[in-house]
Amino acid sequence: MALEQSSDKRQRVLAVSGSLRKTSFNTGLLRAAQEVAPDWMDVEIFDIRDLPFYDGDLEAQGDPEPVRALKSAIRESDAVMFATPEYNWGTSGVMKNAIDWASRDREEGSLMGKPGTIIGAGGRAGTSRPQMQLLETLGETGTIVMVKPGVMISAFAPDTFDSDGNLISPQARELLGKHLDEFAKWIFRLGPRDFVPFACEMDIALAAR
Ligand SMILES: Cc1cc2nc3c(=O)[nH]c(=O)nc-3n(C[C@H](O)[C@H](O)[C@H](O)COP(=O)(O)O)c2cc1C
- The Cα 105–Cα 203 span in angstroms is 12
- The Cα 96–Cα 158 span in angstroms is 29
Sequence-ordered strand ranges (E) for the chain? 11-17, 41-46, 79-84, 115-122, 144-146, 152-154
30 DSSP β-pair partners: none
Q: What is the pLDDT of residue 130?
A: 97
Distance from CA of residue 49 to its chain's centroid? 15
Ligand 1 centre to CA of 122 (Å) is 6
pLDDT tens digits, one per residue of 109-152: 999 999 999 999 998 888 999 999 999 999 999 999 999 999 99
CATH superfamily for 3-207 is Flavodoxin domain (3.40.50.360)
Q: What is the pLDDT of residue 202?
A: 74
Task: Give the residue-averaged pLDDT of 55-83.
Answer: 98
Whether ligand 1 lies within 6 angstroms of the CB of 86 is answered as yes
Q: What is the pLDDT of residue 125?
A: 87
Whether ligand 1 lies within 6 angstroms of the CB of 26 is answered as yes
Measured over the CA atoms of residue 19, residue 87, residue 112 and residue 201, the dihedral's sign is: negative
pLDDT at residue 2 greater than cutoff 50: no
Task: Give the residue-averaged pLDDT of 19-46.
Answer: 98
Whether ligand 1 lies within 6 angstroms of the CB of 10 is answered as no
Q: What is the pLDDT of residue 208?
A: 77
Atom index in ligand 1 nearest the CA of residue 156 equals: 21
Tell me which residue has its CA closest to atom 27 in ligand 1.
24
Q: What is the pLDDT of residue 8?
A: 63
Ligand 1 centre to CA of 143 (Å) is 25
Phi-psi region of 89 (alpha: psi -120 to 50; beta: other; left: phi over 0): left
- The Cα 163–Cα 139 span in angstroms is 35
Measured over the CA atoms of residue 174, residue 180, residue 184 and residue 185, the dihedral's sign is: positive
Whether ligand 1 lies within 6 angstroms of the CB of 161 is answered as no
- The Cα 157–Cα 160 span in angstroms is 6
Q: Within 13 Å and on the Cβ side, how many CA atoms surround 135? A: 13
**Which amino acid is residue 95, in one-letter code?**
M
Tell me which residue has its CA closest to atom 18 in ligand 1.
122
Q: Where are the domains of the chain?
A: 3-207
- Range list of H helices, 21-64: 25-36, 56-60
